[in-house]
Copies of this chain bind each other. A is one copy, B any other.
Amino acid sequence: MTALSQRATEQLQARARELNARLDQLKAAGLALDLTRGKPAADQLDLSNALDGILRGDYRLKDGTDARNYGGLLGIPEARALGATLLDTTPDRVIAGGNSSLSLMQLVVDAALRVGLWGAGSAWQRETDTPRFLCPVPGYDRHFAICEALGIEMVTVPMTDHGPDMDAVEARVAADPGIRGIWCVPKYSNPTGCVYSDAVVARMAQLPKRAAAHFLVMWDNAYAVHDLEQPSPKLASLAPLTIAAGTDDNVVQFTSTSKITFAGAGVAFLAASPSVVKALEKHMGTMTIGPDKINQLRHVRLLEGRIAQHMQQHAALLRPKFAAVLERLDHSLGDLGIATWTRPKGGYFISLDTLPGIAQRVIERARAIGVTLTPAGATFPYGADPNDCNIRIAPTFPRLADVEAATDVFVLCVELESIEQILARRLAS
């Protein structure tokens, strides 16, 4: 096939009629499909059903503590060790929290903003009226929501296939002393699925030295072990690099078991330098007596020493869904020159870029046929995609047959909106 933009107008008009007819048929079928949610499917959740009942009446930690009672603000030692495995660091640097890494991220940014993580007077709000964060785009809407809720301005920088464009990142940081941090999803980035290259990780570890004081790299390693293929891409370990660079106090790592065990009932972790852990411990001390140690202990009993095996079971369930989407994108859009998309080796998303200016229309058209996609712009700060071209596809939650059916509709919508865009431009020129 030739690229759509090379085809004759009549040919495109004919194809548009054909696509419209097919979509009308599909609409009549009354589909109700959903590709919006980065959620595990029920068969993935089943992999962790042993969690309930796993303690068998044994609530003692290795140090003798009764996990059922109050206390232990930083989490149980066993869980901190589990988090250290996930984040490739040491247990003393880890805080094991409740069920939400997002809550930990909000806690850290809020503490940096209002209290300061680096001693008296280090709160961002003392230093600047308008703290700003760099947001590689496309990115994760819930990161952006934290900034928006806390009044932190967002400045976008482009993503590449190897992580954020570090030239752009470094230039921005050098030029703007109001910039206080950057959001990173270093492995299987949400939504592109890229893995930060060793060079990007190394430059990120150096970044705080180029920035204003009290810079914060928010390293959300949500998909640390969420590989679809083996051997899997290896993410460079951040902590040794920041320790060597003297930027150890300027990086906080996050992860959770949300997409390892139960999405709503997992354990979240952060890792930071000893002094930042201490500052956070003090800050948390007025908010809670401690996390749910019982749930932490359950997770330790389920996952200790068998994370890789467990994640391979997830991968076996997820691979066909990702393959189904990619096959359809390749088959239906591969030669048309109207879209590009990522081929992630892990994580939860595929990111697709349409021709500029039609992402929202594609999503609206798909919704009219009964296929819901993540809202256009969600992958950009303030919900505003300047090119209106990025679409996040989340194939994990629906049944395989539904992923297939939804993608079949989606590719038709992309092609039709592309044709209409091309025709409209020809008419206008």
CA distance A102 to B57 in the complex (A): 28
CB interface residues, A 196-240, toward B, < 8 Å: none
Number of interface residues of A (CB under 8 A): 50
CB interface residues, A 269-312, toward B, < 8 Å: 283, 285-295, 298
Q: Is A263 an interface residue (CB 8 A)?
A: yes
Question: Which residue on B lies nearest to A55, using beta carbons?
Answer: B52
**Closest CB in chain B relative to A222 CB, distance in Å:** 12
Residues of B within 8 A of A262 (CB): 68-69, 294
Question: Which residue on B lies nearest to A259, using beta carbons?
Answer: B70
**B263 and A70 contacting across the interface, CB-CB below 8 Å:** yes
CA distance A253 to B294 in the complex (A): 26
Q: Is A67 an interface residue (CB 8 A)?
A: yes
**A70 and B146 contacting across the interface, CB-CB below 8 Å:** no
Q: Is A20 an interface residue (CB 8 A)?
A: no
**B98 and A146 contacting across the interface, CB-CB below 8 Å:** no
CA distance A68 to B71 in the complex (A): 26
Task: Say whether chain A's binding surface is mostly helix, strand, loop, or mixed.
Answer: loop
**A258 and B146 contacting across the interface, CB-CB below 8 Å:** no
| Given A69-B264, A264-B294, A294-B265; A100-B49 close (CB under 8 Å) | no
| Given A53-B53, A99-B292, A264-B293; A142-B68 close (CB under 8 Å) | no
| Interface bits A46-72 vs B (CB < 8 Å: 1, else 0) | 001100111111010000001111111
CA distance A283 to B286 in the complex (A): 19
**A288 and B103 contacting across the interface, CB-CB below 8 Å:** yes
Residues of B within 8 A of A283 (CB): 149
**B265 and A68 contacting across the interface, CB-CB below 8 Å:** yes
**A264 and B292 contacting across the interface, CB-CB below 8 Å:** yes
| Given A52-B53, A98-B99; A264-B290 close (CB under 8 Å) | yes
Q: A residues within 8 Å of B by Cβ? A: 37, 39-40, 42, 45, 48-49, 52-57, 59, 66-72, 98-100, 102-103, 106, 142, 145-146, 148-149, 258, 262-265, 283, 285-295, 298
Q: Beyond the given A70-B258, A292-B295, please list 10 additional residue pairs across the A-B interface where CB-CB is below 8 A.
A: A39-B69, A42-B66, A42-B69, A53-B56, A69-B263, A69-B264, A100-B290, A142-B289, A262-B294, A264-B289
